[in-house]
Amino acid sequence: MKFAKTLVTAAALVALSLGGAAAKEWKKVIIGTEGAYPPFNYVDTDGKMKGFDVDIALALCDEMKVECEVVAQDWDGMIPALLAGKFDAIIASMSATDERKKVIDFSEKYYNTPPAIVAPKDTDIKGVTPDDLAGKTIGAQVSTMHADFVEKVLTKSELKAYPTADEYKLDLENGRLDAANDDVVVLSQWLKTEAGACCKLVGTITPIREIHGPGAAIGVRKEDTDLRDMFSAAIKAIRANGKYQEINQKYFDFDVYGG
């Protein structure tokens, strides 16, 4: 991590020499999201970023009275891009896991839904315990808590890690995978589509705190504690003023905020 630190320090030095020593006033916040994780974030047919994450991001910015710009970033480069200063916050359904907390900081959670397992309709998989899934090839998106879960808990299964969710869905459809592990909302949404007709939900997994963390939260650089607190306060505010519920209703028929 030394390199990232050096980078950040260098960036900070440049910023200092250019902009004077005044503490940064957050007038404009650039937000990174993936754009390949429907219904939370995706690129719509008109080329615009849409989804629950994006709507929440814009509502939070409104609440914080800052100007925001949402940019796309591939999932596996999300944290390095944040550290390199390409954007100031990650709002991409990223769970605040302990592993990530070593590198970046997180706001309070803004939603929390359980993970689940899907499999082809003619599967012989009966449940979601490690024994049920023993010997199976399970797909997940690389560098996610879901991939982590397969590796750490489903030790008798083989993990196949894909760059985006689209790709494990394709391989599930064409029979290369015995099952896939992802967020229940993401999977259910996909099962409703034409492509998802191949498969069914086997069951949801009870989240494990050490692996799954407290839920999806907003990631910021460790030194931006002010921005982190602004986001946490804004989440609370939009929960209280009904804006959150409004967005929630647009996408889901239940409260994704979770317990």
Partner 1 sequence: MAYVDAPSTERPPAAARRRWTGARVIGLLLMVLWALLGVSIVYMLIVGYDPEKVAKYGPRIVQGIWVTLHLVTMSLLLGAVISIPVAAGRMSANPVIGGIAFGYSYFFRGTPLLAQTFLVYYGAGQFTDALKAVGLWVFFRDAYFCAVLTFSLNTAAYQAEILAGAIRAVPAGQWQAADSLGLRHFTTMRKVILPQALITALRPYGNEVILMIKASAIASIITVLDLMGQTRYVFSKTYDLQVYIWAAVIYLATVEVLRRLWELMERRLTRHLRR
Q: Which spans of this chain sit near partner 1 (rule: CB under 8 A)?
A: 1-4, 76, 79-80, 83, 99, 103, 142-143, 160-163, 167, 170-171, 173-176
Smaller CB separation from partner 1, 58 or 142: 142
Q: How far is the CB of 168 from partner 1 (least distance, A)?
A: 9
Q: Which residue in 199, 205, 224 sits closest to 121, CA to CA?
A: 199
Q: How far is the CB of 80 from partner 1 (least distance, A)?
A: 6
Q: How far is the CB of 177 from partner 1 (least distance, A)?
A: 10
Q: How far is the CB of 160 from partner 1 (least distance, A)?
A: 5
Smaller CB separation from partner 1, 97 or 107: 97
Smaller CB separation from partner 1, 103 or 153: 103
Dist. CA 66–CA 73, nearest whole Å? 21
Token code pair at residue 122: 């003619």
Smaller CB separation from partner 1, 4 or 153: 4
Report whether 211 contacts 153 (CB < 8 A). yes
Q: How far is the CB of 75 from partner 1 (least distance, A)?
A: 9
Q: How far is the CB of 61 from partner 1 (least distance, A)?
A: 26
Smaller CB separation from partner 1, 161 or 205: 161
In angstroms, how far is the first alpha carbon of the chain from the final one?
Answer: 34
At 10 the three-state DSSP class reads helix
At 134 the three-state DSSP class reads coil
Token code pair at residue 138: 């399970």
Token code pair at residue 60: 């939070």
Positive or negative: CA dihedral 29, 103, 105, 219: positive
Strand partners, 159: 138
Smaller CB separation from partner 1, 156 or 176: 176
Residues 6+ apart with CB under 8 A from 155: 130
